[in-house]
Structure 1
Amino acid sequence: MLVSLLLRWLAAFVLVVITYNPTELNYVRWALGDGAASLPLVILFGVILLVGYVIFLRATFRSIGGLGILLVVALVGAFLWVLYDFNIISLENPGALTWIGLVAVSFIMGVGLSWSIIRRGLSGQLDVDDVEE
């Protein structure tokens, strides 16, 4: 179960980091910088990323809903506040804050993708969306 949860979070993290991160290696900087020279590739990779986001966000909204997303955001925010309060993280480094934000967003999408597994582990109940006759 843990490996499955980690793989789902890792997939969400890769999607988010490929889209944007504080380094020079991301879709947004590439598209804004060299995008005019290779517009068909920019559009192709943009559509691929869009498909990934639609899959991840739709699964997240279907599994935990808006209230669940708010609860996970509150949990991540409270955790970051504790880390800041104990001087484990600092608000001085914008690059580090961006990475923290990327991890937080990917965590929210990872929880959304994994919610059925988490719920089944906690309650013993299965989630069924489609009933076949």
Structure 2
Amino acid sequence: MGLLLRWIFAFLLLALTFNPTKWSYIHWSMENYIEETPLAVLLGLLLVIGYIIYLRATIRSIGGFGMFLVLAVVAALIWVLYDWGILRLDNRDQNTWIAILALSIVLGIGLGWSIVRRMLSGQYDMDDIDS
């Protein structure tokens, strides 16, 4: 359940920032920045904090190479689905949602890697214990 929640929050973070609908921070702020500058700045800072939390944890837990490997596996899965005719890539909006999904999987696994590692190996991680 913990890994699923981490992925859902990563998906929401990315989708709230940008998506092909008009319901995203990028679209809203471009239309309302002049009238709603303080709110646009506040929401932008909250999104940046979310990205810092996710990216720092992901880089710390699986590193850049791990991020590349997870993204490569997701890309290979998309390729297989396309090759089998299950997925079509001619719709720009659908491609944007696929990219959001792929990036959210990378961030979700990065933030929840300790859970995955513990499930696979039975070992707990210990981080920066002060003496």
TM-score, normalised via structure 1 length? 0.96
| Structure 2 residue aligned with 1:132 | 130
Moved over 4 A (4+): none
For structure 2, which runs of at least 5 residues remain unmatched after alignment?
Answer: none
Q: What is the CA distance between 1:124 and its match in structure 2?
A: 1.2
Tell me, in whole angstroms, the C-alpha distance in 2 between the residues paired with 1:117 and 1:22.
32
Identity %: 50
Among 7, 10, 23, the alignment partner of 1:9 is 7
1:45 maps to a residue whose letter is L
Residue 27 in 1 paired to residue 30 in 2?
no
Q: CA offsets per residue over residues 24-45 of structure 1, 9 Å max, x none?
A: 0000001111111110110000
Secondary structure in 2 matching 1:21: coil
Q: 1:88 maps to which residue?
A: 86
Match of 2:51 in 1: 53
Aligned residues: 131
1:44 to 33, 42, 57: 42
Shift of 1:132: 3.4
Gaps of 5+ in 1: none
- What is the identity, as a one-letter code, of the residue corresponding to 1:72? V
Aligned-CA RMSD value? 0.7
Give the C-alpha shift of residue 60 in structure 1: 0.4
CA distance in 2, matches of 1:132, 1:60: 22
Shift of 1:91: 1.1
**Aligned equivalents of 1:79 and 1:92: distance in 2?**
17
How far did 1:125 drift?
Answer: 1.3
Give the structure 2 partner of residue 117 of structure 1.
Answer: 115
Which stretch has the larger CA shift, 123-132 or 70-79?
A: 123-132
**In structure 2, what is the Cα distance between the partners aligned to 1:41 and 1:22?**
22
